Structure 1
Amino acid sequence: MGSCIICGVDVDGGGRICDPHQEDVVFDFRGDSPSQLVPSRFYRGVVDGYAEFGVFIDLAPGVTGLLHRSELDRRLDSLDWEPGDEVFVQVKGVRDNGNIDLGWSIRQADREFRGVLVQESDTEHPPEEDAEDAAEDTEDAAEDTEETDEDSVDDADTTDGDEDGDEDCDDTVDNDGSSPTVESDATDESETDESDATDDHSEDTDVDRAGAAESEPDDERERVEIGTLSDTVGESVRIDGEVVSVRQTGGPTVFELRDETGIVDVAAFVEPGVRAHPDVEVGDVVRIDGEVESHRGDVQVESEALVLLDGDDGDAVRRRLAEALSDEARPEGLQPLAGDEAVAQLADGLLDAAEAIRRAVLESRPIVVRHPATADGYVAGAAVERAVLPLIRAEHAKSDAEYHYFTRRPLDDPVYGMDPATNDATRMLQDRDRHDEKLPLFLLVGTGSTVESADGIDLLSVYGVDAVVVDAAVADPETRDAVDTLVSPDIESVDANLSTGALVASLASAVNDEVREDLRHLPAVSYWEDTPQRYTDLAHEAGYDVERVAELREAIALEAYYQSYQDKRELVADLLFEDGGNLAAHVSEQFREKLETEVKTATANVVTEAVDGVEFAVLDTDGYTHRYDFPPTPLLLDDLHRRNADGEAYATVGIGTDELYLRTTADVSVRDVAKRTAELAPAADVTTAGLREGKIEFLSGERDAVEDAVVAAVAEAF
């Protein structure tokens, strides 16, 4: 029976790791069959090569597994592994045919695990036992050589004895026939000395390690800027800065440090999995001496000494950071795309929003973008994403930082209510408590500007997080007082033909002017109808004609519906920025086929009636739409209304079990309609659920009464 190398408990079968600690060590596999691998264990491997769907990893000669791209925490083409590189992976399982499924390991160094074991075919042992075996083999070989030499000497002595007489034989063998004891004593003394030397070396190593963890910075060393570290790999440097995050791995503690020029990871090691410098927290200013290394393509610093800076030294660093932050965060100015005057009127607010976004990047504060799962919403979210990701890449040395510091979360409904707000609050508090992350900046585009979002925004405000709202629709007065930064037209100067996508595209160009050329076609894509000529012309200048713009709009609308809660970052980027035409055209064709099928079914079941000179088209959306397939009800009703609205007095009503959508040719207030409906159907508990969608909710048992009341209320409003 063996004992666990981590906790020391007995392990059945002679193993060296207990079940609770299986995933805390990494194994060197020396078997010859996939069936000998143990699922859930982490193994050292060597990159064999790439395929379209993943990376092949050799775990041993003749034993190769696949790390599928779906297991990666980044895009496959962003991996900097080369064939022959040593990597660490987890065995997810071994199939009956011998195929090995591998999983991603965030730990990519021995020191990040709590131990290392060698797994033979069905046994395991520490790697030092190999060294001991090798040493024993060397000793055995030496003894064999010595014995051979002694035999040669004995043979010579025997020959001499034959010539000289029997006295020489007495020198070799005692009177009792045994060998002399003096040689054995010498051997014991040698072994003792060697053991003592080994113990002394072990103690020296422990002292050196402890000393390195506690050593003081060298006063004569000069500070270097983090932004220059890529030019100093292999050198010892000093850096000063603010701690923006702390991560504890299975090996070192990783401090993310920011100065006025950039951000870098600093690894400090005491013992595997033990927190180094527990007195250092996020927000502290520190001085670090260490060696610059290249870790899987990213620059990082191996800490040799770390001290907290306070007093004048700490204040100097904070002033330097604050000055650099202010200078870099504020954009120089706003140049609206296509010279849109409606956007220009909102310049001050847009510059404030751009500064908040840029400041969050510079402060290593995560950015969470919320937008409706519509074509307009996705265009707006993608525009911000296009602008911010290059800034994050430039600021952070880690290649996957853009996935940690920028998140886009689409909304099924264009209202930031309690459900998404609770989701966001839960995530940010977990990230704060588990990973020492700063609370994020929330950017709400095309949502958050009406009172229907008040409860959600209030929940965020309880935790003091910053919120920026950018919406082309007129914001409610209550919202203007509830958010930190709000960009929305005043009711006196509103341009009814301004889309959120167009507004946010100009914001994105202020955030990062280098991507301005990439954004020129986005405003045209964000409009379903009545696209302003200035944006049509701008798209055409960028190489997107009317047909191409329509394909992009329809493709985004279709993809926005499926997996609506996912950002689909790479797919959306391919459609809007990287596609040569085939992808968008293919998806757009699906959009048109599905929409036409639904429109035909709906049109055949629309009930029309005229009330007080207003023509109504009423559709039972529960009975005559595919409720759980594309297109969503709001998009279907939009299309029906565009096709059939005739004259100035026309309304399209889609009514389901407990919700109703309203479209009108006149400027009818959905809130006013809901208020009047509540008066006419008092038992229905009628509420406005979505101003932008024209959505009203009610109790399902009062559906008939609500339908009649809505028709009456709309007729009164015309």
Structure 2
Amino acid sequence: AASEPESESDAGDEDRAPTAGDVVDDIAANGESEQEADAEPEPESDSESEDDAEVDAEQEAEADADDAADEAERVTLAGIDDRVGDVIRVEGEIASVRQTGGPTVFELRDETAIADCAAFVEAGVRAYPEVEVGDYVRIDGEVERRRGELQIETEELTILDGDEGDTVAQRLADALSDEARPDAVAPLAAHEPVAAVGKSLLDAAEAIRRAVLESRPIVVRHTATADGYVAGAAVERAVLPLIREEHPRDDAEYHYFTRRPLEEAVYGMDAATNDVTRMLEDRDRHDEKLPLVLLLGAGSTAESLDGLGLLGVYGSERVVVDAAPADDEVAAEVDVLVNPAREGADARDLSVGALASTLSVAVNDDVRDDVSHLPAVSYWENCPQQYLDLAESHGFDADRVSELREAVALEAYYQSYQDKRELIADLLFDADEGLAGHVSEQFRIKLEDEIETAQANLERREVGAISAAVLDSDAYSHRFDFPPTGLLVDELHRRTREGDAFVTVALGMDELYLRATGDLDLRAVVESAAEKAPAAGLAAAGIREGRIEFLTGARDEALEAVLDAAAEQF
């Protein structure tokens, strides 16, 4: 069918020219279209929508994590045993840093315990290199058990400065003060010179306990004698359990406690240089703190000032414990001095072993039964009866005590620079009587052979008011085998002395050992002898050992001068 014709108006509109009104209407229409187009969003792809959603989710998760971290509750290290698998927050002081072939291990100490915190960035690469020993930090991480030991896998470590660091420092200081100082000293047996040093024993015990709590190594120096080894073993027995309790590492007791025997009671430059070299190397290589140096029966005379001073230059704490009178200069040099004579007490019947055994129970009273026989073991003669009774009450009769003393004396001589920790512990604490009996038999055989030779070659003299027995130890003893000259002259003097004015001398090539029935002032003897033989180069080399040095070429003059000077004191 044909379409209907357009109306005249429509046709006319197509042919006529546009008016101004038409133009205005067109402009308005176009503007509305553009606004509608702008207002209508372009459709997004599905992938773009998913990416935006993931970003929003991550941001929300991070925000939630930050909020959770800010609100995380601090946990003490003593309470992490039952938190294995949990993410926790701890705060404390970095006690040490160890770089392994894998992670960096930060040893963290808080007011309750110590724990290892492992941080990993790359195998063998130091994590958080800005963190140093002594820094106060906050660590967030998961508690795990590695090879039977608890460890925190560090997720975040923050150094605490300002008020936060001060808070942690004060928290640790308060805990240390409360935990380090014992309430009182309960002696093993009643003994007046021990009672006289009660306060200084507390000071020494606090210094030792604080060193353990602060993760500072303890270096014990004692003489290589039966008395010295007994003293060192007593303190060792007390300290090792505290280290095991404080530190999670299986080898911590070897890392934080060392005994280094001395050939004599002088802590000289040789020993001090050895200690300083080791402690600086440990500080620089392993970030260790400087140690507490504990001297038992050593270091209390002026001859040790140079060595003690070297330790002081580096700020190492020094504690000296000695039964024999200490010099005033030493008291001014060291941090703690335990010395009955400085308290006005007569300590001539006190051994270093008995004094150190009392110190050990002040450090850790749990070892009281373990060390109760040690005072008796430390005496060669004239042991106070209360210590013999104490040993007897713990199953150590007189014969057993003698066996232990002799066995320790023999082992002290061999490998004298080694502590022989396990062997000495077996002898004194853990082994059956067979071990001590076997070693003490060797002691008696060797000693008797030397005594027999010495007695056959003694030269008897009368000098002024004294009688003297002189042994040429260079000619009539085995200088490089047991017994050492000091122990030989002790036993020789016990067997040969007569009356109240008797001296025994073991004369070597450039030194002599002097023993007397009365109290001799060795420095006064040397001073007087030097006036009589000024060219002999006489010097008091070891006050505790009664050892005097001289020039080899003036051997005879030195002997005569010393005997004359000794006679003047009787």
Alignment TM-score > 0.5, same fold: yes
Deviations 1:271-320 (A, max 9, x none): 12211111111111111111222222221111111111122222221111
In the other structure, the counterpart of 2:103 is 252
In the other structure, the counterpart of 1:614 is 466
In the other structure, the counterpart of 1:680 is 532
Aligned to 2:302, which of 447, 451, 465?
Answer: 451
SS in 1 for 2:340: coil
Aligned to 2:144, which of 290, 293, 299?
Answer: 293
User: Is 2:213 aligned against 1:376?
Assistant: no
User: Is 2:483 aligned against 1:631?
Assistant: yes
In the superposition, relative to structure 1, how do residues 217 and 453 fare at CA in structure 2: closer, same or farther (>3 Å)? farther
CA–CA separation in structure 1 for the residues paired with 2:347 and 2:128:
56
Deviations 1:26-75 (A, max 9, x none): xxxxxxxxxxxxxxxxxxxxxxxxxxxxxxxxxxxxxxxxxxxxxxxxxx
Aligned to 1:704, which of 556, 566, 569?
Answer: 556
1:506-525 equivalences under 5 Å are 506-525=358-377
In the other structure, the counterpart of 2:199 is 348
In the superposition, relative to structure 1, how do residues 664 and 216 fare at CA in structure 2: closer, same or farther (>3 Å)? farther
1:60-71 equivalences under 5 Å are none
SS in 1 for 2:143: strand
In the other structure, the counterpart of 1:419 is 270
1:135-174 equivalences under 5 Å are none
CA–CA separation in structure 2 for the residues paired with 1:558 and 1:701:
33
CA–CA separation in structure 1 for the residues paired with 2:213 and 2:94:
13
The 8 Å contact of residues 428 and 439 in structure 1, kept in 2 or not, is answered as yes
- The alpha carbon displacement at 1:251 in A equals 1.7
The 8 Å contact of residues 220 and 259 in structure 2, kept in 1 or not, is answered as yes
- The alpha carbon displacement at 1:332 in A equals 0.7
1:654-673 equivalences under 5 Å are 654-673=506-525
In the other structure, the counterpart of 1:400 is 251
2:426 maps to amino acid:
D
Long gaps (5+) in structure 1: 1-210
In the other structure, the counterpart of 2:443 is 591
CA–CA separation in structure 1 for the residues paired with 2:159 and 2:68:
11
Deviations 1:139-195 (A, max 9, x none): xxxxxxxxxxxxxxxxxxxxxxxxxxxxxxxxxxxxxxxxxxxxxxxxxxxxxxxxx
Aligned to 2:168, which of 290, 300, 317?
Answer: 317
The 8 Å contact of residues 541 and 547 in structure 2, kept in 1 or not, is answered as yes
Deviations 1:595-643 (A, max 9, x none): 0011011111111111113111111111111111111000000000001
1:409 maps to amino acid:
R
CA–CA separation in structure 1 for the residues paired with 2:72 and 2:305:
54
2:386 maps to amino acid:
R
CA–CA separation in structure 2 for the residues paired with 1:296 and 1:446:
41
The 8 Å contact of residues 384 and 505 in structure 1, kept in 2 or not, is answered as yes
- The alpha carbon displacement at 1:229 in A equals 2.0
In the superposition, relative to structure 1, how do residues 253 and 591 fare at CA in structure 2: closer, same or farther (>3 Å)? same
CA–CA separation in structure 2 for the residues paired with 1:590 and 1:234:
57
- The alpha carbon displacement at 1:686 in A equals 1.2
Identity, % of aligned pairs? 65
The 8 Å contact of residues 102 and 123 in structure 2, kept in 1 or not, is answered as yes
The 8 Å contact of residues 217 and 288 in structure 1, kept in 2 or not, is answered as no
Aligned to 1:533, which of 377, 381, 385?
Answer: 385
The 8 Å contact of residues 474 and 489 in structure 1, kept in 2 or not, is answered as yes
Deviations 1:55-111 (A, max 9, x none): xxxxxxxxxxxxxxxxxxxxxxxxxxxxxxxxxxxxxxxxxxxxxxxxxxxxxxxxx
Aligned to 1:498, which of 350, 356, 371?
Answer: 350
CA–CA separation in structure 1 for the residues paired with 2:513 and 2:146:
55
CA–CA separation in structure 2 for the residues paired with 1:413 and 1:230:
47
CA–CA separation in structure 2 for the residues paired with 1:494 and 1:430:
42
2:478 maps to amino acid:
H
Long gaps (5+) in structure 2: 1-61
- The alpha carbon displacement at 1:217 in A equals 8.5
Deviations 1:342-389 (A, max 9, x none): 201100100000000000000001000000000110011001000000
CA–CA separation in structure 2 for the residues paired with 1:216 and 1:255:
26
- The size of the alignment, in residue pairs, is 505
2:112 maps to amino acid:
T
SS in 2 for 1:559: helix
Q: What is the TM-score when the length of structure 1 is the normalising length?
A: 0.69
SS in 1 for 2:189: helix
In the other structure, the counterpart of 2:502 is 650
Deviations 1:469-495 (A, max 9, x none): 000011011111111100102264222
The 8 Å contact of residues 324 and 341 in structure 2, kept in 1 or not, is answered as no
Aligned to 2:217, which of 358, 366, 369?
Answer: 366
In the superposition, relative to structure 1, how do residues 398 and 647 fare at CA in structure 2: closer, same or farther (>3 Å)? same
CA–CA separation in structure 1 for the residues paired with 2:551 and 2:306:
21
CA–CA separation in structure 1 for the residues paired with 2:459 and 2:134:
63
The 8 Å contact of residues 341 and 347 in structure 2, kept in 1 or not, is answered as no
- The alpha carbon displacement at 1:237 in A equals 1.6
The 8 Å contact of residues 253 and 274 in structure 1, kept in 2 or not, is answered as yes
The 8 Å contact of residues 72 and 89 in structure 2, kept in 1 or not, is answered as yes
The 8 Å contact of residues 192 and 345 in structure 2, kept in 1 or not, is answered as no
In the superposition, relative to structure 1, how do residues 216 and 469 fare at CA in structure 2: closer, same or farther (>3 Å)? farther
Greater RCO between the two (CA within 8 Å, min separation 6)?
2
In the superposition, relative to structure 1, how do residues 670 and 250 fare at CA in structure 2: closer, same or farther (>3 Å)? same
Over the residues paired in the alignment, what is the CA RMSD in angstroms?
1.4
1:26-425 equivalences under 5 Å are 218-425=69-276
Displaced runs of 4 or more, over 4 A = none
CA–CA separation in structure 1 for the residues paired with 2:413 and 2:310:
27
CA–CA separation in structure 2 for the residues paired with 1:522 and 1:375:
10
CA–CA separation in structure 2 for the residues paired with 1:573 and 1:625:
31
1:678 maps to amino acid:
A
- The alpha carbon displacement at 1:681 in A equals 1.5
The 8 Å contact of residues 184 and 362 in structure 2, kept in 1 or not, is answered as yes
